[in-house]
Amino acid sequence: MKQNRRKFIKFAGVAAAALCTAPAVAKAAGGGHAAPIMKNPKGLEAERWAMVIDTTKLKTEKDFAPLIEVCHKIHNVPQIDSNQEVKWLWTGSYDETFVEQPNPHMNEELKERSYALLCNHCENPPCVRVCPTKATFKRPDGIVAMDYHRCIGCRYCMAGCPYGSRSFNFSEPRDHFTEEELKKLNPKFPTRMRGVVEKCNFCVERLAVGERPACVEASKGAMFFGDLNDPESEVRQVLRERFTLRRKPSAGTEPSVYYII
Ligand code: SF4
């Protein structure tokens, strides 16, 4: 009997200690996870990630095709040729991209360029404000991320985004891959499910292991990526030296994507 009591007291002590330390572990992990998350020491970090796209170098559909291909391939984005298409990176005309900067007399070449479109990872993201389940959230490094398992498919984020940067899975994404393509899916990135919203994630999974976004790598120097809050970073240097535009300034969202014009 005494033995049982001693065992119980010992168990209660361990349980109480675990309860006391659990919040600290969760806090250190940066969120509501009970278990600690091991960080890769090679991971890239920033106070606020930003991207600069040089539209003087990337200006045709052909220029963007390999970038779109690599992005969609590593993120298992299906090719759906209808108005139910899912896209993380795509292109638009000058008028679609810079709707608030129309100029009928502008340089023809500038007007004829294609412009890369993606999530802007806004400083003030309306998509985060309207999400009822916190499935979309802003990370401390400025990346607007998604937890697909929390998404209930209400699409408020799609209505809230002033840039049309989000896609909805009207059908089961895996159904749009052939048997051969299914075998070649990237096993390191989850496929999504029907009824879930998705978008560009600034390649958080690559940053976590020390790699820059796939489109930036594929652009061969025509895209820059770095810490907007670091005056010595490459993006800050480029922003000091070149004239850039951001999309829909009147929306007040403060996009993290800049276009060299
Ligand atoms: Fe959200 Fe749209 Fe801004 Fe991306 S571009 S952070 S989806 S509001």
199, 200, 248, 259, best to mutate for ligand 1 pocket (most atoms within 8 Å of CB): 199
Is the domain of 103 the same as that of 129?
yes
Question: What's the Cα-to-Cα distance from 211 to each of 203, 208, 220, 227, rounded to whole Å?
Answer: 9, 7, 14, 14
Nearest 5°: the CA angle 60, 66, 67 is 85
Q: Looking at the domain assignment, is residue 220 inside a domain?
A: yes
Is the domain of 7 the same as that of 110?
no
pLDDT tens, residue by residue, 235-250 = 999 999 999 999 999 9
Residue nearest ligand 1's atom 8 by CA: 161
Kindly give the distance from the C-alpha atom of residue 103 to the centroid of ligand 1, in angstroms, as a whole number. 25
Q: For position 117, which CATH number holds?
A: 3.30.70.20
Is the domain of 26 the same as that of 123?
no
Instruction: Give residue 36's pLDDT.
Output: 63
Q: What is the pTM of this model?
A: 0.86
Is the domain of 14 the same as that of 94?
no
Q: Looking at the domain assignment, is residue 36 inside a domain?
A: no
Total structural domains within the chain: 2
The answer to whether the beta carbons of residues 126 and 162 sit under 8 Å apart is: yes
Is the domain of 20 the same as that of 68?
no
How far is Cα 75 from Cα 190, in angstroms, rounded to an integer?
8
CA-closest candidate to residue 197, choices 256, 257, 250, 132: 132
DSSP 24-89: HHHHHTTSS-SSPPPPPTT----SSEEEEEETTTS-SHHHHHHHHHHHHHHTT-----STT---SS
How far is Cα 246 from Cα 52, in angstroms, rounded to an integer?
10
Is the domain of 93 the same as that of 15?
no
Q: Which domain holds residue 6?
A: 1-30
Is the domain of 8 the same as that of 106?
no
99, 119, 257, best to mutate for ligand 1 pocket (most atoms within 8 Å of CB): 119
pLDDT tens, residue by residue, 125-137 = 999 999 999 999 9
Instruction: Give residue 102's pLDDT.
Output: 84
Q: Looking at the domain assignment, is residue 137 inside a domain?
A: yes
Is the domain of 82 the same as that of 194?
yes
How far is Cα 202 from Cα 207, in angstroms, rounded to an integer?
8
Secondary structure class of 191 (helix, strand, coil): coil
Secondary structure class of 182 (helix, strand, coil): helix
Q: Looking at the domain assignment, is residue 154 inside a domain?
A: yes
DSSP 8-state symbol, 177: S
Could you tell me how many helices (H) and strands (E) the chain has, helices first? 10, 10
122, 197, 246, best to mutate for ligand 1 pocket (most atoms within 8 Å of CB): 122
Q: What are phi and psi of 254, to 5 degrees?
A: 55, 65
Tens place of pLDDT for every residue, the chain, 261 residues? 444 444 433 433 333 333 333 333 333 333 334 456 688 999 999 999 999 999 999 999 999 999 999 999 999 999 999 999 999 999 999 999 999 988 889 999 999 999 999 999 999 999 999 999 999 999 999 999 999 999 999 999 999 999 999 999 999 999 999 999 999 999 999 999 999 999 999 999 999 999 999 999 999 999 999 999 999 999 999 999 999 999 999 999 999 999 999
Q: Looking at the domain assignment, is residue 74 inside a domain?
A: yes
